[in-house]
Amino acid sequence: MNSVTRIARKITKSFLPKNEPEGVGAVVRRCIGGSKNYLDPFLMCDFATVSQPAGFPDHPHRGFETVTYILEGAIAHEDFAGHKGIIEAGDIQWMTAGRGIVHAEMPAPSASALQIWVNLASTEKMCEPAYQELSNDSIPRATPEEGITIKVIAGESHGIKSSVFTRTPTMIMDFSLAANKKVEQPVPKGWNGFVCVIEGSGFFGADRFLGKANHALFLDEENQGEYFSAETGDESVRFMLFAGKPLEEPIVHHGPFVMNTEQEMLQTFYDYEHYKNGFELAKNFRSSIFDGVPLKDLKQSKEVVA
């Protein structure tokens, strides 16, 4: 009887993102989108740290999705269609910009968060804007054994499946491992992936690559393996795993817009400037949080336990 050998994915690159300015007075550490360009289908991944009066006042998007995961504190959100609220520590907001949206994201009063931009296929770029929002308590968790917790934001792990609909096939998970633990996570062949280490340290991939807090690690792009592995020594670790199916389409990226061709980008500029084809509500829009979150809406920052 022939035995089947399972192959684990390798880690081929690691780096420590540097602080850089973004928005109005905010600071981000960019894992993807800076020195590391796109990792199809991921366009950008930022660790953002922001406190009032800094933030991300009214700005547009088209052609992709933003995934905002609050690590500490809270962020207020408001768009030109009247969708508004506060997302707090442990919450996730999955926003499909689609054909067009204008929104603001401001700290309430301070926050640390991960924001990921997920590209949309050409057939999805002009879809209607949409939101999927899950509170910390409503995000399902897998606990394959004591000392291992996996918060399943998108995708499936150890029989636990997220309710988030991913237009672009994607998995996003928040892993917490106690000391001296090991975990495996299936990753479909052909998918690209990366890891962001939030706290502690661990050993990742087939070659037990050492990953430390605040570092980004990238899975090999040969995509030969069928699962990802992580383990700890004497120190615990918390990390995020991101993986997605490449779209393999042209990317034309200008600021807050991501399309497939230069002609589509020119049309996007025209639509935004003339309030057409998805940007009609942008005319005369100014969010109530443009200058910061009103005092009555502020909530004390808090830290979430995954």
The neighbouring-strand residues paired with 199 are: 238
Does residue 276 form part of some domain? no
**pLDDT mean across residues, the chain:** 92
Query: What is the model's pLDDT at position 303?
Result: 42
Alpha-carbon distance of 196 to 31, in angstroms, equals 8
Does residue 45 form part of some domain? yes
Number of domains the chain is built from: 1
pLDDT tens for 14-23 read 999 988 888 7
Give the CATH number for residue 153. 2.60.120.10
Residue type, 209: F
Task: Assign 306 a pLDDT band (cuts: 50, 70, 90).
Answer: very low
Alpha-carbon distance of 128 to 179, in angstroms, equals 45
pLDDT tens for 144-193 read 999 999 999 999 999 999 999 999 999 999 999 999 999 999 999 999 99
Q: By residue range, what is the domain housing residue 87?
A: 11-248
Does residue 197 form part of some domain? yes
**pTM greater than the 0.85 cutoff:** yes
Find out whether 86 and 76 touch, Cβ atoms under 8 Å.
Answer: yes
Residue type, 100: G
Does residue 56 form part of some domain? yes
Does residue 263 form part of some domain? no
Share above pLDDT 90 across residues of the chain, in percent, rounded to a whole number: 82
Rg (Cα) of the chain, in Å, rounded? 19
- Known binding residue 103? Answer is yes
pLDDT tens for 66-109 read 999 999 999 999 999 999 999 999 999 999 999 999 999 999 99
Alpha-carbon distance of 84 to 77, in angstroms, equals 5
Residue bearing tokens 């998970």: 173
Find out whether 41 and 191 touch, Cβ atoms under 8 Å.
Answer: no
Q: How far is CA 108 from CA 88, 139, 285, in A?
A: 9, 22, 21
Does residue 144 form part of some domain? yes
Check pLDDT > 90 for residue 305: no
295 sits in the region (left: phi over 0; alpha: psi -120 to 50; else beta) called alpha
Alpha-carbon distance of 281 to 184, in angstroms, equals 46
Does residue 209 form part of some domain? yes
Alpha-carbon distance of 296 to 306, in angstroms, equals 28
Does residue 157 form part of some domain? yes
